[in-house]
Amino acid sequence: MIKLDSGNVLLKPSHRRQLMTWLRRAMRLGQRIGNFAISISMQRIGRAYEVRATVEDSAGTLHCRSKRHDWRDALRDLIHRLTQWLHGQQLRQFATA
């Protein structure tokens, strides 16, 4: 499950589709782990964009944030971190099985 709170950032429908495309790998990894839920909130602060995410799955919980001058860069950085963390969780889960 994905919950997106765009806050005071205006996203066009094409931007939302682009975000979902970027999240595709993270969603697949999270579904393999089980009980996957992600909550993303975006906020514009001055000229910068801050993106925060909370990921919960059966292996644990992750809170992370990214602050950049462009919302695409902030989201790309955040999704890269999420994907790395979920991949590590999946490897740990298979190692203990």
Q: Which residues contact 74 (CB under 8 A, 6 or more apart)?
A: 42, 49, 50, 51, 66, 67, 68
pLDDT at 64: 93
pLDDT at 80: 94
Per-residue pLDDT tens digits for 1-25: 889 998 899 899 999 999 999 999 9
pLDDT at 97: 67
Residue 85 forms part of a structural domain: yes
Per-residue pLDDT tens digits for 56-97: 988 789 999 999 999 999 999 999 999 999 999 888 888 886
How many domains is the chain partitioned into structurally? 1
Q: Containing domain of residue 85, as a range?
A: 2-90
Residue 97 forms part of a structural domain: no
pLDDT at 38: 93
Nearest in space to 55 (alpha carbons), one of 25, 35, 75, 80: 35
Residues pairing with 76 in the sheet: none
CATH number for 7: 3.30.160.100
